[in-house]
Chains A and B, each alone.
Chain A
Amino acid sequence: QVQLVQTGAEVKKPGASVKVSCRASEYTFTAYFINWVRQAPGQGLEWVGRINTYNGDTNFAQKFQGRVSMTRDTSISTAYMELRSLHSDDTAVYFCARVGGDNSGTYGVFDIWGQGTMVTVSS
């Protein structure tokens, strides 16, 4: 079935970087955006940014500008999010999610989610 599968949990020290992957299956990878959303312990959903999987264009939430990058490898239907200069309040579960674009019929709809990747930042 249509799904997104993410890499496993990560533990990083403050100042380090983390790269999380999100592998798509059973749909045309380049027909949908991949968005990244994080959730700190006990908190709500926070948008990190998105990548246009067709052309590689990215948009990020302002608070992450300069510290995040998003890439994709269309040959293996996988999107990546790298967050640098980690600090303790980056500790969260990071989700990738499929979101429809202009021609999808589900514009702006987060219809498929990965299982989440727990990133713990601790010294």
Chain B
Amino acid sequence: SYVLTQPPSVSVAPGQTARISCGGNDIDTEDVSWLQQRPGQAPVLVMYYAQDRPSGIPERFSGSNSGNTATLSISSVEAGDEADYYCQVWDANSDRPVFGGGTKLTVL
């Protein structure tokens, strides 16, 4: 089955750019979504189809997808961006979703 690999944690200072990676075999052929989950809350979609932002998501959030790595970038990081971030694809072979293990973003 398809596997998505994320780093467990990423730390960044306020105002800097955070980059969270999601590795998968030929992931650039997949439609990648990114979910943000703040502590005690439900996940929120922040990016889909690798680089499309849902309405209400700040332009500071951007995405890219190339080769075996998709990346969620957050520029001008704020304290409120501190959360767990999950990448997700829909695996057409198994007809079910696959989630990455999640990355905890810490704002220093």
By a beta-carbon cutoff of 8 Å, the part of chain A in contact with chain B is 35, 37, 44-47, 50, 59, 61, 95, 97, 99, 106-116
Contact of A110 among B43, B95, B96, B101 (CB under 8 A): B43
In the complex, given contacts A44-B102, A109-B31, A110-B45, what are 6 additional A-B residue pairs having Cβ atoms less than 8 angstroms apart?
A45-B88, A110-B35, A112-B45, A113-B42, A113-B43, A113-B44
Chosen A-B contacts, 25 in total, with CB atoms closer than 8 Å, are: A35-B97, A44-B100, A44-B101, A45-B35, A45-B43, A45-B99, A45-B102, A46-B99, A47-B97, A47-B99, A59-B95, A95-B43, A107-B31, A107-B90, A109-B48, A109-B49, A110-B33, A110-B88, A111-B54, A113-B42, A113-B44, A113-B45, A114-B42, A115-B42, A116-B42
CB-defined contacts of B95 to chain A, threshold 8 Å:
59
Chain B 71-108 interface 0/1 with A at a Cβ cutoff of 8 Å (1 = within): 00000000000000010111000011101111000000
Measured CB to CB, the closest approach of chain A to B73, in angstroms, equals 19
Q: Looking at the assembled complex, report how far the CB atom of B57 sits from the nearest CB atom of chain A, in whole angstroms.
A: 11
Q: Nearest Cβ in chain A — how far from B100, in angstroms? A: 8
User: How near does chain A come to B71, taking the closest CB pair, in angstroms?
Assistant: 18
Inter-chain contacts of B54 with A (CB < 8 A): 111
| A59 to B35 Cα, complex, angstroms | 22
Known: A44-B86, A45-B86, A47-B97. A109 touches B33 (CB 8 A): yes
In the complex, what distance in Å separates the CA atom of A80 from the CA atom of B104?
Answer: 31
Shortest Cβ-Cβ A-B pairs, 6 listed: A108-B90, A113-B42, A45-B99, A109-B48, A44-B102, A111-B45
Instruction: Summarize A's interface: helix, strand, loop or mixed.
Output: strand
Partner among A37, A108, A115 whose Cβ is within 8 Å of the Cβ of B89: A108
With the chains together, A35 CA to B90 CA distance in Å? 12
| Chain A residue at minimal CB-CB distance from B96 | A47
Q: CB-CB < 8 A to B99: which residues of A?
A: 37, 44-47
- Chain B's closest residue to A50 (CB) is B96
Which chain B residues lie closer than 8 Å to A109 at the CB level?
Answer: 31, 33, 45, 48-49
Q: Among A97, A109, A112, which residue has the most Cβ atoms of chain B within 10 A?
A: A109
- Which residues of chain B are within 8 angstroms of A108 by Cβ–Cβ distance? 31, 33, 89-90, 97
